[in-house]
Amino acid sequence: MSGRTLPHPASPEAPKYWAYETGGKLGPAMKRYLSGMILSTVEIELIKSYLGQWIDSPVWENNADFDYGLGLGMLRRTTHGIRTAPDLDLCVEAMIELGMDPL
Specify the pLDDT at position 68: 57
> How many structural domains does the chain have?
1
What is the identity of the amino acid at 71?
Answer: G
15-31 pLDDT tens trace? 888 988 888 999 999 99
Q: What percent of the chain has pLDDT over 90?
A: 53
Phi and psi torsions of 34, nearest 5°:
-65, -25
If one compares 97 and 80, the residue with the highest pLDDT of the two is 80
pLDDT at 10: 58
Q: Is residue 53 part of a domain?
A: yes
Kindly state whether residue 22 falls inside one of the protein's structural domains.
Answer: no
Q: Residue 15 falls within a domain, yes or no?
A: no
Q: For the whole model, what pTM was predicted?
A: 0.82
- 103 found inside a domain: yes
pLDDT above 80 (res 13): no
Rounded distance between C-alpha atoms, residue 5 and residue 94, angstroms? 18
Domain range spanning residue 94?
Answer: 41-103
Does residue 23 sit within a domain? no
